Amino acid sequence: MNFKYIISAALFSLIIITGSCGDFGNDDETDEAKKYLGTWSVSDQSARINYTVTIVANPSNSAEILLNNFADLGSKAVALVIGNSLAIDSQPLGSGFTVSGSGIYINKDKLQFSFDLNDGIDNESRVATFTR
């Protein structure tokens, strides 16, 4: 028997088997974001207001979600999904406001957010509970 042929066939088989076990598209980030998606009723204790926020996947980045009508300002905030936590880096929110903060996934029906709104003059700290 030709050992070169046997070794070549074995290596080729190993490459095929190893390649078939590879990751052809990791949906972990998308799966993490799914639990946040939907329409949420918000109780913003600091501002003493109630409003609705709709959370959708960010089509540009599967590790992010978009919070439409965040802080009841009619515009959207972008949040990075990190497991059961959300990070809202400092960003313009509309109406002259900048927002930054964080959120946490409590369960399938409840999220908790702590964030700061800054209008260039005053900084307002808020806590909001999202429920569905």
Q: Give me the CATH number covering residue 40.
A: 2.40.128
Q: What is the pTM assigned to this prediction? A: 0.77
Is residue 54 in some structural domain? Answer: yes
Task: Give the list of residues 6+ apart from residue 44 with CB closer than 8 angstroms, or none.
Answer: 50, 51, 71, 72, 126, 127, 128
Is residue 10 in some structural domain? Answer: no
Tens of pLDDT along the chain (132 residues)?
544 444 444 444 444 444 444 444 444 555 799 999 999 999 998 889 999 999 999 999 999 999 999 999 999 999 999 999 999 999 999 889 999 999 999 999 999 999 999 999 999 999 999 999
Q: Range of 74's domain?
A: 25-131
CA–CA separation, 32 and 10 (whole Å): 39
